[in-house]
């Protein structure tokens, strides 16, 4: 089967900008379109204003534009069954069906699978009522982690440092803080160590592990302040030595892929495994059913393999035997957010960009929450606004280049962490 000549990418973040650019770089030269996209994606590919949760609208767009392949970025359309609907009309798509998306949409579902197949993960209890949840809390060590079962835009997890904080989180979540998403909660033992993100391209029982990456979840330098969707990332993550990578494959990735298949889920998409590297070994924090953001922005530029061929093979069940070629370079992405994120932040602030020719070599500014105003200026339109990303022969050089790009962007509400990559840089 030849590669598709046209692709629709669904989503509007930095992850989708990276997907669009990698797909455009395919030797097959596909036509790439995006819905809904953002101001930066629109400079690379036609964008159509269809929201990611408007499943019928996305199907109609794919048909109207006669695309041959759909690549789905975010979890919401996956959980709403976009891929199920595309398959019904005979359109190949990359991303799991709703049954696979449940691995992200329900933390209870995932925890049950992890426990059933004895894949390393923290012990946990599940609760719908406050009283038994509070009783369970008193039997567990502190700190302790309280999680909403369902999707909560990354805000449904509280790592409680005291019993009082844990009790408040239980009451908050079961009290309906996230509606149906928190009508059930998990209370999970706290894991200690470094976190890494392992992205895996999965097609049934076949899989390809993407290069290692680490994200920076907290808003502030030195990993302080509230959790965010991710403030920066780098790849490779050298804390994952080749030996540890092999162990992660043996103890986590292969058992996870097989468990999902054994559960009757024909998963064709990205399994993003959030891992804690504990003193006794890697342990699963979560599964996501999609590419990570901003991990994608640092992993894709390092691939020497054609992304289009890779995703197409996965979607068609032809991933067996596919091997990945990876560039030796380091990639680092600094997320530029709007001041106030992840709480409240302004929108509509004008952004002035450096001329591309003035940027350091192999440096690119991905767009995330950007839009055009009526005067045609690019303005902020979300919490995470841009992702300055660089590829270089060393991590230090990649960081220097990405930060040069951050400093050259002008925007009154610009905020970014100054220490992306510092942990790995300081380890040397």
Binding residues for ligand GLY, rule: CB under 6 A, are 215, 229-230, 288, 292-293, 295
Residues near ligand AMP, by CB under 6 A:
122, 145, 147, 157, 159, 188, 190-191, 195, 217, 227, 274, 285-286
Q: Cβ of residue 194: shortest distance to ligand AMP, in angstroms? A: 10
CA-based torsion, 256, 257, 260, 263: positive or negative: negative
Which H/E stretch holds residue 203? strand 194-203
Q: Cβ of residue 112: shortest distance to ligand GLY, in angstroms? A: 21
Please identify, using beta-carbon distances, which residue of 121 and 214 lies nearer to ligand GLY: 214
Please identify, using beta-carbon distances, which residue of 3 and 80 lies nearer to ligand GLY: 80
* DSSP β-bridge partners for residue 386: 336, 367
Please identify, using beta-carbon distances, which residue of 217 and 290 lies nearer to ligand AMP: 217
Asked if 150 and 156 count as a contact pair (C-beta separation under 8 A), the reply is: yes
Q: Which does 295 bind (CB under 5 to 8 A by kind): ligand AMP, ligand GLY, none?
A: ligand GLY
Cα–Cα separations (whole angstroms), residue 239 to 195, 197, 406? 10, 12, 26
Q: Cβ of residue 159: shortest distance to ligand AMP, in angstroms? A: 5
**Under DSSP, is residue 64 helix (H, G, I), strand (E, B) or coil?**
helix
Cα–Cα separations (whole angstroms), residue 336 to 141, 196, 197, 273, 389? 37, 21, 20, 25, 11
Q: Cβ of residue 409: shortest distance to ligand AMP, in angstroms? A: 27
Closest CA to 388 of 367, 411, 372: 367
Please identify, using beta-carbon distances, which residue of 252 and 378 lies nearer to ligand GLY: 252
Q: Which does 145 bind (CB under 5 to 8 A by kind): ligand AMP, ligand GLY, none?
A: ligand AMP
Pairing outcome for strands 31-36 and 6-11: parallel
Please identify, using beta-carbon distances, which residue of 72 and 285 lies nearer to ligand AMP: 285
Q: Which does 292 bind (CB under 5 to 8 A by kind): ligand GLY, ligand AMP, none?
A: ligand GLY
Please identify, using beta-carbon distances, which residue of 154 and 348 lies nearer to ligand GLY: 154
CA-based torsion, 346, 288, 74, 45: positive or negative: positive
Cα separation, 136 vs 127, in Å, equals: 9
User: Which phi and psi angles does 31 have, rounded to 5°?
Assistant: -80, 130
Pairing outcome for strands 206-209 and 185-189: unpaired
Please identify, using beta-carbon distances, which residue of 9 and 122 lies nearer to ligand AMP: 122
Q: Cβ of residue 287: shortest distance to ligand GLY, in angstroms? A: 11
Question: HSE on the CB side for 170, CA within 13 Å?
Answer: 25
Q: Cβ of residue 286: shortest distance to ligand AMP, in angstroms? A: 4
Q: Cβ of residue 8: shortest distance to ligand GLY, in angstroms? A: 21
Q: Which does 293 bind (CB under 5 to 8 A by kind): ligand GLY, ligand AMP, none?
A: ligand GLY
């Amino acid at each position: 089967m030849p590669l598709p000549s046209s692709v629709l990418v669904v989503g509007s973040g930095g992850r989708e900008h990276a997907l669009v650019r990698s797909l455009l770089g395919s030797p097959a030269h596909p036509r790439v379109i995006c819905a809904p996209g953002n101001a930066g994606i629109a400079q690379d590919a036609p964008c159509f204003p269809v929201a990611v949760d408007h499943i019928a609208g996305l199907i109609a767009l794919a048909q109207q534009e006669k695309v041959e392949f759909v690549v789905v970025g975010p979890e919401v359309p996956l959980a709403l069954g976009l891929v199920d609907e595309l398959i019904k009309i005979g359109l190949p798509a990359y991303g799991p069906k709703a049954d696979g998306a449940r691995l992200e949409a329900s933390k209870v579902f995932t925890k049950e699978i992890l426990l059933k197949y004895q894949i390393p993960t923290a012990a946990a209890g599940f609760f719908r009522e406050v009283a038994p949840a509070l009783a369970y809390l008193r039997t567990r060590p502190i700190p302790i982690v309280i999680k909403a079962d369902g999707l909560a835009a990354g805000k449904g997890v509280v790592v409680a440092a005291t019993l009082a904080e844990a009790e408040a989180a239980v009451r908050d979540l079961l009290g309906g803080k996230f509606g149906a998403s928190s009508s059930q909660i998990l209370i999970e033992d706290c894991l200690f160590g470094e976190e890494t993100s392992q992205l895996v391209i999965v097609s049934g029982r076949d899989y390809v592990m993407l290069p290692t990456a680490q994200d920076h979840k907290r808003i502030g330098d030195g990993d302080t302040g509230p959790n965010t969707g991710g403030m920066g990332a780098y790849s490779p993550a050298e804390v994952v030595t080749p030996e540890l990578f092999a162990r992660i494959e043996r103890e986590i990735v292969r058992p996870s892929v097989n468990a999902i298949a054994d559960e009757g889920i024909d998963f064709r998409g990205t399994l993003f495994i959030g891992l804690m590297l504990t003193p006794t070994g890697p342990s699963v924090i979560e599964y996501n059913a999609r590419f990570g953001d901003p991990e994608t922005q640092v992993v894709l530029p390092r691939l020497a393999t054609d992304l289009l061929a890779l995703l197409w093979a996965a979607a068609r069940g032809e991933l067996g035997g596919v091997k990945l070629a990876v560039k030796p370079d380091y990639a680092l992405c600094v997320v530029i957010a709007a001041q106030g994120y992840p709480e409240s932040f302004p929108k509509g602030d004008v952004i002035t960009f450096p001329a591309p020719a003035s940027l350091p070599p192999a440096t690119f500014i991905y767009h995330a929450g950007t839009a055009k105003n009526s005067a045609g200026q690019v303005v902020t339109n979300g919490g995470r606004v841009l992702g300055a990303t660089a590829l270089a022969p060393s991590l230090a050089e990649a960081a220097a280049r990405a930060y040069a790009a951050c400093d050259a962007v002008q925007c009154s509400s610009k905020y970014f962490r100054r220490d992306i990559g510092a942990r790995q840089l300081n380890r040397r």
